[in-house]
Amino acid sequence: MEDNTVSANESNLLEKEIPLEFTGKASEYFGIWIVNVLLTIITLGIYAPWAKVRNKRYFYGNTLLENSPFDFIANPVTILKGYLLALGFYVLFSVSSNFYPLSGFFFLFLFLVIFPWIVVRSMSFRLANTTYRNIRFHFERDYGESYKIFLGIGLLIPLTLGFIFPYYHYRQMKFVADKSSFGTSRFGFDTKVANFYIIYVIVWGVFVGIGVVTAIVMGVIFAKNPEMAALMQGPAEGQEIDPEQQKAFFTFIAIIYAVFAVLYIGVFAYMQAALNNLLWNNLSIAKQRFRSTLTTPMMLWLYMTNSICIILSFGLLIPWARIRMMRYRVSCLTVLSEGDLDGFIAGEKSKLSAAGEEIGEVFGLDIGI
């Protein structure tokens, strides 16, 4: 008995809980967002990198860990170069695939081949420009490993009918986490592949369940109302459509769509919550671990209300929706730290300003973490 109490106390003493805090305000962010949108439109997109940096600085700067903010220090000109490269690719792709539809396959192939490179570039750029307490994050540019995972294992997905996908996702997450560091301290990601399979089996199960239930419901409804089945087939030659029946039919279809939309967002919310928790709860750095407690009902509620409010406000509530989502995500994250956060050492200077940043964040891709 006594031994247990002592060890519990000990671990409490060793591990301190440091919650993350988010101090962004929708009213303040609205001004930043609308000016970003306006200047991006007026400059035909040239302002977009500046908008991106201001946007990220607002979110990072309002995310506090032990009262210290994060910061994003990227040079917008570097991002602009990456955007122009992506734009060139997009124009080339749209023009040629419209004049020669078959060339679309070539571009798809090309994209598959350069995708692992883009992932490494984007991660490296993003982390190298993220700082906390004047220390940069860092991403090791391991192109070989990236090609092995994204191209090698990626190509096995269709061959295994998708059953390898959870493993693929596991390797992706592990790759991104293991190659990341803060100063000289490496992040580590340690979990079993089985945890990914559990999440995906649940998702697959829900989809199969939805299919079976829909088939049964449709079967019952059509068996009881043969005229509805007839409407589903379309009107026969010369047959007049009864407007009452048509109305009932469209209401029925609308309800089906609404149910599907909620289920779809629900599955999406579950995946977001489960995968995020899985990542953070198994991530560690130096003497720090993390705890993430996102829940599916809350994510579902946020996704649904955000989507509805954005549509009804013609987009004007986008800033509010983003702040709301970020506040929830941050509120669910806690750092479990043995000792304080003063012990991190900056990496080598030469490594930080590594060459080749000129291509910046190609495609502005936001992946994973």
Judged by CB under 8 A, which stretch of 5-13, 36-44, 108-116, 168-176 contacts other proteins? 36-44
- What value, to the nearest 5°, has the Cα angle with vertex 280 and ends 274 and 285? 165
Task: By CB under 8 A, tell whether 353 contacts other proteins.
Answer: no
Return the closest-CA partner of residue 112 out of 158, 59, 81. 158
Minimum CB–partner distance for residue 88 and other proteins (Å):
12
* CB of residue 8 to other proteins, shortest distance in Å: 29
Nearest-approach distance from CB 142 to other proteins, in angstroms: 25
Q: Is 110 an interacting residue with respect to other proteins (CB under 8 A)?
A: no
The tokens describing 281, both together, are 């709860």
Report, in Å, the least distance between residue 343 CB and other proteins: 7
366 makes contact with other proteins (CB under 8 A): yes
The residue within the footprint of other proteins, chosen from 10, 11, 12, 31 (CB under 8 A), is 31
For residue 118, state whether it binds other proteins (rule: CB under 8 A): no
Counting contacts by CB under 8 A, is residue 284 touching other proteins? no
All residues at 6 or more sequence positions from 224 whose CB lies less than 8 Å from its CB, including other chains: none
Decide: is 35 part of the binding site for other proteins (CB under 8 A).
Answer: yes
Which is it for the CA torsion 25, 28, 31, 32, positive or negative?
A: negative
Q: CB within 8 A of 302, min separation 6: which ones?
A: 324, 325, 328
In the list 162, 209, 211, 235, the residue contacting other proteins (rule: CB under 8 A) is: 235
Q: Report the nearest approach of other proteins to the CB of residue 334 (Å).
A: 18
Is the distance from CB of 128 to CB of 137 less than 8 angstroms? yes
State the angle between helix axes of 193-224 and 243-281 in degrees (0 to 180), rounded to the nearest 10: 170
Asked if 364 is part of the footprint of other proteins (rule: CB under 8 A), the reply reads yes
Structural tokens at position 55: 């946007």
Angstrom distances, CA of residue 3 to CA of 12, 13, 358: 14, 15, 59
51 in contact with other proteins (CB under 8 A): yes
Site for other proteins in 155-194 (CB under 8 A): 183
Residue showing tokens 């599955």: 267
Counting contacts by CB under 8 A, is residue 37 touching other proteins?
A: yes
List 15, 22, 45, 298, residue binding other proteins (CB under 8 A): 45
Task: Tell me if 322 contacts other proteins by CB under 8 A.
Answer: yes
**What does each C-alpha distance from 80 to 105, 122, 123, 274 come to in angstroms?**
28, 13, 17, 35
Site membership for other proteins, residue 253 (CB under 8 A)? no
SS3 assignment, position 206: helix
CB-based contact 326:22 (threshold 8 Å): yes
Please tell me whether residue 71 binds other proteins under the rule CB under 8 A. Answer: yes
Task: Please give the residue ranges that form the binding site for other proteins (CB under 8 A).
Answer: 24-25, 28-32, 34-42, 45, 48, 51-52, 54-59, 61-62, 68-69, 71, 73, 87, 90, 94, 98-102, 132-135, 183, 235, 241, 246, 303, 306-307, 310-311, 315-316, 318, 321-322, 325-326, 341-346, 349, 364, 366
